[in-house]
Amino acid sequence: MNPMLAYRSWRKTSHRPGILVVDDDIHERTLLTAVLWRNGFTVWLAGNGPQAVEVYSVLHAEIDMVLLAVRMPDLDGPHTLAALQKFQPDVRCCFLIADSGHYTDEALLERGALALFRKPLSLPYVMYQLRNLLHSHQPN
């Protein structure tokens, strides 16, 4: 199935920032989608790194921020971010961390992450930080 078909009805509008949620945990994706949508964001989903790259390759102009799990099968978060940066070098990304594995916080930030959110997520904190990050990192 082409994952792009699932995203066409979620097109970004000018007043709703676009967020790509990338996490192999369906429960995390579902919860984040509901909370983000209720808080005024347009949301696209990917269940792994390769799906994220596919979605981002088509929709990167509409995606204002990527929420990216660090540990995922096939292509982990840092490697997925590197692939996304080929489409847009200044992609804005926040890592979602349950277990960072061998990556230190400093290493994740050096790869280009704007913030690190630890699981279980404090959803009010995530919403507050996303709004601040999107406001303070407006594209020129």
Q: Where along the chain do its domains lie?
A: 16-134
* 78-128: pLDDT as tens digits: 999 999 999 999 999 999 999 888 999 999 999 999 999 999 999 999 999
In this structure, the number of other CB atoms found within 10 A of the CB of residue 65 comes to 22
Confidence of residue 136 (pLDDT cuts 50, 70, 90): confident
What average pLDDT does range 17-24 have in this prediction? 97
* 60-84: pLDDT as tens digits: 999 999 999 999 999 999 999 999 9
Tell me what pLDDT residue 100 has: 87
Query: With 80 as the cut, is the pLDDT of residue 137 above it?
Result: no
Tell me what pLDDT residue 4 has: 44
Check: CB of residue 78 under 8 Å from CB of residue 103: yes
CA–CA dist 52, 83 (Å, integer): 9
Q: Directed axis angle between helix 123-136 and helix 26-38, to 10°?
A: 60
Tell me what pLDDT residue 14 has: 55
What topology is assigned to 16-134 in CATH?
A: Rossmann fold (3.40.50)
Global pTM exceeds 0.85: yes
Query: With 80 as the cut, is the pLDDT of residue 26 above it?
Result: yes
Could you tell me which of 122, 131, 115 has the C-alpha nearest to residue 32? 122
Q: CA geometry: angle at 76 spanning 87 and 83, to 5°?
A: 15
